[in-house]
Structure 1
Amino acid sequence: MTTPQPLTIGIDFGTTNSVVALADPTTGAVLVQFAIEGGETATFRSALSFQFHAAEGEGRPERIVEAGPWAIEAYVEDPHDTRFIQSFKTFAASAAFTETRIHDRRYTFEDLLSAFLLKLRHHAGVAMADLPPRVIVGRPVTFAGGRPDEALALSRYETAFKRLGFEDVRYAYEPVGAAFYFARTLKQDATVLVADFGGGTSDFSIIRFEHTPDGLKSTPLARSGVGVAGDAFDYRIIDNLVSPELGKGSFYTSLGKTLPAPQRYYSAFARWDQLALLRASRDMRDIRGLASTSLEPEKIERLIEVLDDNHGHALYRAVSTLKQDLSRAETAQFSFVAGGVRIEAPVARAQFEAWIAPELTAIETALDEALHASGLPLEGIDRVFLTGGTSLTPAVRALFHRRFGASRIETGGEFESIAAGLALIGLQPDVERWTEG
């Protein structure tokens, strides 16, 4: 039996947003707030920006790194000379990703995450000496990617978090963190299914909570996950609405033959983690050459403009707006306008749901795996807690309403539940039961 820590910190490093929470036995969990123009926010965008500015009269340029809302601000102010990277958590478990070069400087995943965490700490106003020695870091049940290497991802996390100054880095499954957050509301014993839908992964955990004289007892029963979520939905929108207007499905001529434009350009373009790298890749030279031989050169020129002029964030806003609008209405207008590029189209919710049908099937399969591993029938689940930004998608919610009925489903804390729960886990006397170090 270990003694509860007087102060613990939980960090939900997400694909889209990151959240930090502090907890102590007296006050419980409190989210760290970041001061931004017009107020405060607890969600810190998981994005980085890199700028190099040469001071007048000096030969060596100054490297300026920003993260979160400040990275977006730097990008908006100077998109041409800013390298903007988002959704880089997707690289964590990829052995194929060894490094990226930014302004002739090499960055491994550990370097990117370290830079991000240092700026996050800076904007939180936390000095190194103020950090507790232990941190509970959220991790997905299944990392994103085709063949995710879990050990590699955790090794990379370990390096980055220890560079920040933490001595004891522990990992807890993200849906387990959300379960601890939800358990505060329980008035009676319950078996809870937590479904956490983020940007890169959809994760499930089934936990039994029981009230005892010594407090709330929790017993893990099953877990599962799949590496698809909100970013995969974004991919479908871009692939169906945007890429065809930028040359996907078009043809070009070479040595007297008519050939289709390479699909790999558009596969990379439609993924947030790859879009940041495409502009600096060898493929960019080939894309420029494609414009002179394309049968629809105006479309390829639009693609080049989006990449050269760094319209990726404008595209992200357009896609996010469409998803939000379709969560509230049966039809919505997609509008991506940036520079000389204008792509607009009406979209029906049913149309969007048809596009994401493969991802919905994968999510339902992962849910079935958790239920099967628990050995429980559907009736054995007392409460269902849906959290994470992608849980707001009507088709995702409908999946659970069909299975469990509306009366057993609760939602909330879409962006705070994991971080707060992770910090609360750090207070548990049996913290080793819920974490791995």
Structure 2
Amino acid sequence: MPQTIGLDFGTSNTVAVIADGGNATVPVSFADGQDSFTSLATVLSFLDRRPSGSAQPEVGPWAIRQFLESTGDVRFIQSLKSFAASRAFQGTGIYGKRMDFEDLMATFLTLAFRRAGTTFDPASVRLVVGRPVEFAGYNPDEELAIARYRKAFAKAGFEDILFVMEPVGAAFSFAQSLTQDTTILVADLGGGTTDYSVMRFETHAGHLSATPLGRGGIGIAGDTFDYRIIDNVILPKLGKGSSYQSMGKQLEIPPNLFSNFARWHMLSVFKTSDDFKEMKKLLRWSLEPEKIELFIDLVEEDQGYPLYKSVSETKARLSSQDEVELSFAPLGAGFRASVSRRDFDRWIAPDLYKMNKALDATLDKAGLQDTGIDRVFLTGGTSFVPAVRRLFAERFGQERISGGNELTSVANGLALIGAREDAADWAVAA
């Protein structure tokens, strides 16, 4: 069997695991100074090197450092996966060079493996790629997303490519520990999407087989939860809900302008949009111009990533604390906001309801009731949110809930699947 790489290309983080053709797997690891990690932030940056050369790209923490510390002009791109299924995204200009989705993804992958110090020849390995059950975004085009993925992997030098549903990869990883036939519900709760998969695992003469019973999902996950904090805590400081004067009337500043900013991964696009030009025009008529000025400053100073980082860290701390403090220096040295888990749970309640309805639909497709599920395996960073775990515990009982290796289980399962002789049977027609 060829060497296999399982790739979990995520909205927020990317994980890769290498299998040697058997049951042994090794996560692709990265080293940054004294820090070692296996989950790489899915971000790209390009430092303007003109006129002496082309843009200098970086990935992960090196991209973040380049963006925050460089004295030169830097383009920062994040949540690349969110654009995969969008026909509206036709590429972007990077200092005089146009790059489409495939160029950006291939650049990220090539630099990521280079930063990891891997020495394999892409053409000689099998790449097993996780794909979400439902791609994120408004009216996502699944065929377009997969076509873009294929072109990106080809640009990066890969030839042998299989696509496997992300929750199937997680289920396979978990199934290695099973000692009896089991019906498993996997909930893969990432940054951009929540994916469900119901599978029946059986063992015959030591050979593990699986029958897919149903799958489903929804484009709601951790990034949506981040937005709820931004919407309730940050955006009022930037003028949301405020008004402007026009022709003798007092009108509310259009809420969609704030929604565009709250989608932090779109900040680089928003910065050159007609909506941003409209906001600048409204400044002179605003009844609270200091808030709109702050809004404009944050956009022009590319504060999207620092804001995301601050909000995401706040959300993470709410997983273990009842109340935390959110601070963000660009809003003012004295800005402090208290965020309680009770408020956070209330803000995300409509999202949890939709996630639960998507789960209902998945079980309906599988022809199962809650009682027909033997084990529930939660994976992905958003599975740490207490309200999310409570949703599953209340439906299935805490005794049926399992977890572990939440950030690497998908890639690990993908690599193990790729090492099997029947790997193609686990793949989906893409």
Q: Would you say same fold, with TM above 0.5?
A: yes
Partner of 1:81: 73
Q: Deviations over 1:216-247 (max 9, x none)?
A: 12211111110110011111111111111001
Q: Deviations over 1:168-227 (max 9, x none)?
A: 221110000000110111122211111000000000111111121142122111111101
Partner of 2:116: 124
- Asked if the contact 2:265–2:304 (Cα under 8 Å) also holds between the matched residues in 1, the reply is no
Structure 1 position 259, deviation (Å):
2.4
Q: Which amino acid aligns with 2:417?
A: I
Q: Which amino acid aligns with 1:277?
A: V
- Asked if the contact 2:16–2:27 (Cα under 8 Å) also holds between the matched residues in 1, the reply is yes
Partner of 2:107: 115
Matched, 1:433 2:425: yes
Q: Deviations over 1:232-291 (max 9, x none)?
A: 111111111111100111112234433222222211111122123212333333333332
- SS of the residue aligned with 2:135? coil
**Equivalent position to 1:335, from 327, 330, 342:** 327
Identity of aligned residues (%): 48
Paired with 1:281 and 1:118, the residues of 2 have a C-alpha distance of 30
- Asked if the contact 1:79–1:309 (Cα under 8 Å) also holds between the matched residues in 2, the reply is no
Structure 1 position 315, deviation (Å):
0.8
Partner of 2:42: 46
Q: Which amino acid aligns with 2:58?
A: E
Q: Which amino acid aligns with 1:52?
A: D
Structure 1 position 326, deviation (Å):
1.1
Gaps of 5+ in 1: none
Partner of 1:149: 141
Matched, 1:392 2:384: yes
- Asked if the contact 2:122–2:159 (Cα under 8 Å) also holds between the matched residues in 1, the reply is no
Alignment of 1:5-404 (within 5 A): 5-54=1-50, 59-78=51-70, 81-127=73-119, 129=121, 132-338=124-330, 340=332, 343-404=335-396
Of residues 36-45 and 193-202 in structure 1, the stretch that sits farther from structure 2 once superposed is 36-45
Q: Which amino acid aligns with 2:420?
A: Q
Partner of 1:420: 412
Structure 1 position 342, deviation (Å):
5.3
Gaps of 5+ in 2: none
Structure 1 position 19, deviation (Å):
0.5
- SS of the residue aligned with 1:284? helix
Paired with 1:341 and 1:49, the residues of 2 have a C-alpha distance of 27
Paired with 1:343 and 1:403, the residues of 2 have a C-alpha distance of 40
Structure 1 position 158, deviation (Å):
0.4
Of residues 60-69 and 319-328 in structure 1, the stretch that sits farther from structure 2 once superposed is 60-69
Q: Which amino acid aligns with 2:163?
A: Y
Paired with 2:53 and 2:234, the residues of 1 have a C-alpha distance of 36
Paired with 1:116 and 1:38, the residues of 2 have a C-alpha distance of 23
CA 1:269 to 1:341, structure 2 compared with 1: closer, same or farther past 3 Å?
A: farther
Of residues 415-424 and 303-312 in structure 1, the stretch that sits farther from structure 2 once superposed is 303-312
Aligned alpha-carbon RMSD (Å): 1.8
Structure 1 position 131, deviation (Å):
5.3
- SS of the residue aligned with 1:338? helix
After TM superposition, the score normalised by the length of structure 2 is 0.95
Paired with 1:132 and 1:184, the residues of 2 have a C-alpha distance of 27
Of residues 96-105 and 86-95 in structure 1, the stretch that sits farther from structure 2 once superposed is 96-105
Paired with 2:72 and 2:314, the residues of 1 have a C-alpha distance of 26
Paired with 1:142 and 1:190, the residues of 2 have a C-alpha distance of 25
CA 1:270 to 1:341, structure 2 compared with 1: closer, same or farther past 3 Å?
A: farther
Paired with 1:253 and 1:53, the residues of 2 have a C-alpha distance of 44
Structure 1 position 39, deviation (Å):
2.8
CA 1:33 to 1:45, structure 2 compared with 1: closer, same or farther past 3 Å?
A: same
- Asked if the contact 2:107–2:156 (Cα under 8 Å) also holds between the matched residues in 1, the reply is no
Paired with 1:294 and 1:112, the residues of 2 have a C-alpha distance of 38
Paired with 2:7 and 2:147, the residues of 1 have a C-alpha distance of 17
After TM superposition, the score normalised by the length of structure 1 is 0.94
Structure 1 position 128, deviation (Å):
5.9
- SS of the residue aligned with 1:428? coil
- Asked if the contact 2:218–2:355 (Cα under 8 Å) also holds between the matched residues in 1, the reply is yes
